[in-house]
Structure 1
Amino acid sequence: MRFGVLGGLSVEDGDGCHLPTAPKQRQLLGLLLLHAGEVIPVRTCVAEIWGGQPPPSAATTLQTYVMHLRRLLARMPSVGSREAAHALLTRTGQGYRIVVRPEELDLLRFGQLVEQADRASGEDATVARLLFDALALWERPVLADVRTGPVLQSAVTHWERHRLEVHETYLDARLRLGRYRDTLAELAVLTRRHPTHEALHVRYMTALYRTGRAADALRVAARLTGRLTHDLGVAPGPAIGRLQSAIRRGDDVGVAPPPALPSLPGPRRA
């Protein structure tokens, strides 16, 4: 049995896909999986599905959605019974919880790999390998094919920010290993995607400079300065200025030592 939220929502086992087709049931399943192992209060589920103006029947309708999800799970050969489906998707106190093992949910596997990389801090080859495997699980934005309400949207934004932080740590490990040329394409894409993200531009400038492209590195700095000035009305921070000066002088430019990896976020709920 496999569940996925890092990209499209997925529910699979040996005989294929078992996704609900109704949008609100998909929304509820996505919310539960994104908080696997946690009790999600009924009020949070209602806020996600119906927003600030739920119908009077919202709690009853929510129970119906849960019933349909349990039926879907019970039909999976790896679950096999109504009792097992109830144990998988439980009612606990004033909320619902889905219980899955780390190997069954891509988000939990991602978290395990990030934690292993954190324990390997200082061993850049190991960190790069573990974070490559973690990022490979993440094909598209979280729950890319699920309609998101206010609770899920906040959580999705939270996890996408964490994904970028992990990607930065992965790139730093590769840069410290001297793989400057290998990172150029990734950094070009990331700086286009995040045109005012100064730390990404520092990495890109460093990789360009260390591969003999000092003029291109300075053009990246000029482009960033223009975007910051035009979009935000601010000047770049001192790191960009120091790096520009070092490049113009022809100084050696290194990569910062590894910080602790960002802790796994706990997405906010209503």
Structure 2
Amino acid sequence: MEIGVLGSLVVRVDGKSALPSAQKPRQVLALLVLNANRVVPIAALSRELWDDKPPQSAMTTLQTYVLHIRKILGKVLGMTSAQVGREILVTRPGGYMFRVEPGALDLHVYEQRLAEGRAALAVGDNHRAARLLCDALTLWRDPPLVDVQPGRLLEVQIRRLEESRLSALEQRIEADMRLGRHHDIVSELIELAAEHQLHETVHAQLMLTFHRCGRRSNALTVFRMLRRSLYEELGLEPSMKLERLHQAILSCDPVLDTPSDTGALLLLDRLAEGMVRSA
């Protein structure tokens, strides 16, 4: 079985889709799959479907949705609904659980590669980190669950996934910066900064990349634009870390170029801790 949430919802067996067409059963399936191999309480499923105003028939309706999903799965798997209920979409005390095999769910594969990539980055294995983080990001097809109408719980899960993807992008870019690939990533960073106009880490990476590409004026412009956006949107000033990076770029501080394997995230931490000099 092939299951995907990093884009449109996918549940396929030998190329045959096992997705319900109606939105409510699709919401149930999406929440179960996102929490694969864990029990999802009936109360959580009810909240997802009806917020805090479930109908009197909520329990019966939810059971009907689960039965419908089991029938669809059974049809493509060549199993009865009862077999699916025993082996895949199982009833547990107080809730339901969707069982998946290792490697079947794209989210699980993504999280495994992401964890390995972060671990490699933490110990300075930058080539391995860049490869693993790139592999993790290639699993994304579109925004998560783009074809599912989310309720309150799915909205939270979707935001968490989107934040995870952005964090993975930042760390993959960090690995590329440590490898000296600044000219290769500058266009990508320009697009990211335009998409995330209040995100300091992305802007810090773009500032340092511009500086190391010999485009100091562009780096300073990025800071000015971020400062204006933060003030106009939130009434805030840039963080002390970003201010120190800005001052270092203004003064052409050599710490921005050495050591050559220092990316923006590591450099910002060192500037904040006073481990390197900035004018």
What is the CA–CA distance in structure 1 between the aligned matches of 2:212 and 2:188, rounded to whole Å?
Answer: 16
Return 111-120 or 60-69, whichever deviates more.
111-120
- Counterpart in 2 of 1:27? 27
Letter in 2 for 1:226: R
Find the aligned partners of 1:227 and 1:42 in 2 and give their Cα distance.
43
Q: Which moved more, 1:96-105 or 1:116-125?
A: 116-125
The residue aligned with 2:226 is 224
Secondary structure, counterpart of 1:76 in structure 2: helix
Could you tell me which of 188, 192, 195 is aligned with 1:193?
Answer: 195
Q: Deviations over 1:12-68 (max 9, x none)?
A: 121432221011011100000111111011111011011111110011010010001
| Corresponding position: 1:9 with 2:6 | no
Task: Give the Cα separation in 2 of the matches to 1:85 and 1:26.
Answer: 17
1:180-228 Cα deviation digits (max 9, x unpaired): 1111122112111111111111100011111111111111111001101
What is the alpha-carbon distance in structure 1 between the residues aligned to residue 199 and residue 62 of structure 2?
41
Which residue pairs with 1:154 in the alignment? 156
Normalization by structure 2: what TM-score? 0.88
Partner of 1:3, secondary structure, is strand
Determine the structure 2 residue equivalent to 1:263. Answer: none
Report whether the alignment pairs 1:44 with 2:44: yes
Instruction: Decide whether the 8 Å contact of 2:67 with 2:81 is kept in 1.
Output: no
After superposition, give the CA deviation of every residue in 1:71-91 in whole Å (9 maximum; x if it has no partner): 1111124x6443441110000
Who is 2:253 aligned against? 251
2:209 is the counterpart of 1:207: yes
> C-alpha distance in 1, partners of 2:232/2:119?
41
User: C-alpha separation between the residues in 2 aligned to 1:185 and 1:75?
Assistant: 47
Structure 2 gap ranges (5+): 257-261, 269-279
1:85 partner letter: V
Q: What percentage of residue pairs aligned between the two structures are identical? A: 37
Which residue of structure 2 aligns with residue 119 of structure 1? 119
Q: Does 1:175 align with 2:174?
A: no
Query: What is the aligned partner in structure 1 of residue 273 from structure 2?
Result: none
State whether residues 8 and 144 of structure 1, in contact with CA within 8 Å, keep that contact through their aligned partners in structure 2: yes
1:71-110 mapped onto 2 (5 Å cutoff): 71-77=71-77, 80-86=79-85, 87-110=87-110
Please give the alpha-carbon distance, in whole angstroms, between the structure 1 residues aligned to 2:267 and 2:56.
53
Change beyond 3 A, Cα 1:163–1:124: same
Please list, as runs of the form range in 1=range in 2, the aligned pairs for 1:121-136 lying within 5 A after superposition.
Answer: 121=121, 122-136=124-138
Q: Distance in 1 between matches of 2:266 and 2:237?
A: 26
* C-alpha deviation, 1:258, in angstroms: 9.7
CA RMSD of aligned residues (A): 1.7
TM-score (normalizing by structure 1): 0.91
Q: 1:218 to 1:134 in 2, by over 3 A?
A: same
2:118–2:171: 8 Å Cα contact kept in structure 1?
no
For 2:227 and 2:206, the matched residues in 1 are separated by 14
CA change 1:42–1:215 in 2 (3 A) is same
SS class of match (2:91): strand
- Alpha-carbon spacing, 1:119–1:232, altered in 2? closer, same or farther (3 Å): closer
Q: How many residues align?
A: 258
State the structure with bigger RCO (CA 8 A, min sep 6), 1 or 2. Answer: 1
